[in-house]
Amino acid sequence: MPIDVVLLVLLGACLHATWNALVKSGTDKQLDSTMVALGASVASIVALPFVPMPAIAAWPYIVASVCIHFTYYQLVGAAYKHGDIGLVYPLMRGAAPLIVAISTTAFLGEHLTPLMYAGIAIISGGVLALAFEARGGGSTGRAVGVALLNALVISLYTFVDGIGARVAGHPIAYTLWICILPPIPLFAYAFATRGVGTVTRHVRATWKRGLLGGTGSVASYGLALYAMTKAPIAAVAALRETSILFALLISVLILKERASPWRYVAGAIIAAGGLAMKLG
């Protein structure tokens, strides 16, 4: 994988960890994840005039992606409601690349080098080791179940969007459209289940956090989709899992959370996986 693609994916991973930390530190995880989606939509609308329309063939993928991302944002909020970021984030992000690697090989016919497969396995093993280390932290079994379910959803939208970005002819334009539309079903659901007054008050109180997190989310995913047009989808998806390193740094340096030595060991494993993929 070219070094410039590696650096872009790592930047995206840092942004991804940042917006997840914003959701975890919020007062209402479900609505906070919806606010991030709204922030991503606003940021995308601002950028829309500067990109062309995606190719017509990409629109079925855009519609499918919007439906999948509705489920994704709901599960993000539910996972952080029931479990801490040290358990939930590694499980969501660690299981997904294994699923992606299997599916892209089976359905897309992409063939990775042995070293890239080793990198995928090492990165996935590292993030899952973090989840195992965090299992004694009081998080519930429901959090584990929700996180693993979301890993399936993540692998699904990675698969759909990886193809869609290629078909669209312009990965950034594709990214903007799949970020503009999800707030429509998300807020419709929030109004129906939480009430207009509750949702409106939350929007007024947290719009700045939502815009910040949403902008980071758009940039993160846009970088990943661009990278998927330059390198195998499974390789990019696995390298994105280094976001757990950035999440760990945020938890220690900014949130002042304690981390055991095992977390640093797992972080080193993830870094080694990233190096293996670069060499591959």
Q: What is the pLDDT of residue 135?
A: 61
Q: What is the pLDDT of residue 256?
A: 76
Range among 96-100, 232-236, 261-265 rated most confident = 232-236
* Range 113-135 average pLDDT: 76
- Global pTM? 0.80
AA letter at 103: S
Interior CA angle at 85 toward 79 and 88, to 5°? 45
Decide if pLDDT at 71 tops 80.
yes
pLDDT tier for residue 196 given thresholds of 50, 70 and 90: very high
For the chain, give the mean pLDDT: 84
* Range 104-122 average pLDDT: 75
Q: Which of 55-59, 71-75, 109-113, 178-182 has the lowest mean pLDDT?
A: 109-113
Give residue 109's region: left, alpha or beta (phi > 0; psi -120 to 50): left
pLDDT tier for residue 21 given thresholds of 50, 70 and 90: confident
Q: What is the pLDDT of residue 136?
A: 58
pLDDT tier for residue 118 given thresholds of 50, 70 and 90: confident
The answer to whether 260 and 133 are in contact (CB under 8 A) is yes
Q: What is the pLDDT of residue 162?
A: 84
Q: What is the pLDDT of residue 201?
A: 94
The answer to whether 63 and 180 are in contact (CB under 8 A) is no
Q: What is the pLDDT of residue 139?
A: 54
Q: Which of 36-45, 113-122, 188-197, 199-208 has the lowest mean pLDDT?
A: 113-122
* Range 110-121 average pLDDT: 78
Q: What is the pLDDT of residue 204?
A: 93
Q: Which of 55-64, 75-84, 112-121, 251-260 has the lowest mean pLDDT?
A: 251-260
How many CB atoms neighbour CB 101 within 10 A?
Answer: 24
Which one, of 179, 144, 245, 188, lies nearest residue 36 by Cα?
A: 179
DSSP designation for 26: S
Q: What is the pLDDT of residue 134?
A: 62
DSSP 28-67: -HHHHHHHHHHHHHHHHHHHGGGSPPPPGGGHHHHHHHHH
Q: What is the pLDDT of residue 37?
A: 93
Decide if pLDDT at 274 tops 80.
no
Q: What is the pLDDT of residue 259?
A: 65
For 60-93, b/e burial (b = at least 16 CB within 10 A) is ebbebbbebbbbbbbbbbbbbbbbbbbbbbbbbb
**Whole-angstrom distance, CA of residue 236 vs CA of residue 224:** 7
